[in-house]
Amino acid sequence: MLVCPQEFKGSLTAAEAALAIAEGVRRALPGVEVVTLPMADGGPGTAAIVAAATGGRLVRGRVCGPLGAPVEAAYAWIERPDAPPLAVVEAAAAAGLALLPEAERDPARATTFGVGEQIRAAIQAGATRIIVGVGGTATNDGGAGAAQALGVRLLDLAGEALAPGGLQLARLARVEAAADPRLDAALARVPSGVPPGVEVRIAVDVRNTLLGPAGATAVYGAQKGVADWQAPALEYALGRWARTLARDLHLDVAGREGAGAGGGLPMGLLAAFPHARIESGAALVADAIGLRAAMAAADLVVTGEGTIDAQTAYGKAVAHVAALAAEAGTPCLAVAGGVEGRPSGIVDAEPLAPTPAARADAMARAATLASDAAARLVARWAATRA
């Protein structure tokens, strides 16, 4: 039996959730063999999950935090005899929402500069393949800070570099591509069949475009602290960033699915690495940790997350786990803090708490409740097969 949940945001990491669910499974089915393989979709915990599953290590360093104060952040480093070095950078480690108390959240000033610093450190260490997970950020700067850390110049009308923060993009006059020699090698077009200097893959946890009613500010701004009166100004600033990138670097990418993930972070990454690809974070992590092979060996899959609802189907790890299970012909069950819908491929689901009010109280006892919910769920599934 395979247990592979993602994090239960605000209460359990993916690893903690996996241990709790596994304990409940064993209570319901004594003697069953349980394999735990925590999942992520490019958000918090991605680097640690990939490192643990692949025998990699975490490389720690001090980088610029979301509001400028230094933070310690880690990226995963994976080396194999048959492949070039791979670094997995997690934007939430340097610019994450969880790094700031609610009262200190300030998306007008928050920056992704530290994410760019992590990428630069990985390149300087010799990484030739980089996955950047962009979920869970406190930022709404369109990745401008990351681009600046990677050598892209963002200038105002006086030719001065812009200060950090999404609101500063309203003053953007022109963009100049990176001039760093090592990054130039990574960005250079190469003849067919010749490997590039650095391959960058952008792991997104949502499919939103950058602008408009389904864009970064409109959909995710409130949870990052965007006030109603700030939203139009930030939307304008991101629009100016997108238009300037299209004009100066010929990057017309704001309408791509996923460009609005992480407060628009993919935009800045594409400014530094124009040939980078925006991909499903859940799919990238699943490939990195060998989820498909583990699923093929299992007769039941149990996944989970904080809330299963309509958004689960839009790029979240649970939906990808369910899709892989359906592909393999393996039943898939889910445990969640709340169950408000059921993505395709999930046979049955069990909430930790029956109502939203009870759910808020349940967060403090999430591990125990997740274990109990898993025991109920698996016992119910087993009874249907008896």
User: Which of 23-37, 97-111, 114-128, 296-310 has the weakest average pLDDT?
Assistant: 296-310
Q: What is the pLDDT of residue 342?
A: 74
Q: What is the pLDDT of residue 308?
A: 79
3-state SS track over the chain = CEECCCCECCCECHHHHHHHHHHHHHHHCCCCCCEECCCCCCCCCHHHHHHHHHCCEEEEEEEECCCCCEEEEEEEEEEECCEEEEEEEEHHHHHEHHHCCHHHCCCCCCCCHHHHHHHHHHHHCCCCEEEEECCCECCCCCCHHHHHHCCCEEECCCCCECCCCHHHHHHCCEEECCCCHHHHHHHCCCCCCCCCCCEEEEEECCCCCCCCCCCHHHHHCHHHCCCCCCHHHHHHHHHHHHHHHHHHCCCCCCCCCCCCHHHCHHHHHHHHCCCCEEEEHHHHHHHHHCHHHHHHCCCCEEEEEEEECHHHHCCCHHHHHHHHHHHHCCCEEEEEEEECCCCCCCCEEEECCCCHHHHHHHHHHHHHHHHHHHHHHHHHHHHHHC
Q: Give 268's pLDDT tier (boundaries 50, 70, 90).
A: very high
How confident is the model over 147-165, as a mean pLDDT? Answer: 96
Average pLDDT, the chain: 90
User: Which of 61-70, 275-284, 363-372 has the weakest average pLDDT?
Assistant: 363-372
How confident is the model over 361-368, as a mean pLDDT? Answer: 80
More confident residue, 341 or 115: 115
Q: Which domains does the chain show, CATH number per domain?
A: 2-37+290-385 (3.40.50.10350), 46-282 (3.90.1510.10)
How confident is the model over 355-359, as a mean pLDDT? Answer: 62
Q: pLDDT per residue over 28-55, tens digit each?
A: 999 999 999 999 999 999 999 999 999 9
Q: pLDDT per residue over 174-202, tens digit each?
A: 999 876 545 555 444 333 332 357 899 99
Q: pLDDT per residue over 58-74, tens digit each?
A: 999 999 999 999 999 99
Asked if pLDDT for residue 360 goes beyond 50, the answer is yes
Q: pLDDT per residue over 220-247, tens digit each?
A: 999 999 999 999 999 999 999 999 999 9
More confident residue, 323 or 310: 323
Of the candidates 286, 253, 257, 289, the residue with the CA atom closest to the CA atom of residue 268: 253
How confident is the model over 330-350, as a mean pLDDT? Answer: 86
Asked if pLDDT for residue 354 goes beyond 80, the answer is no
Asked if pLDDT for residue 296 goes beyond 80, the answer is yes
Q: What is the pLDDT of residue 372?
A: 94
Q: What is the pLDDT of residue 5?
A: 95
Q: What is the pLDDT of residue 343?
A: 74
Q: What is the pLDDT of residue 276?
A: 94
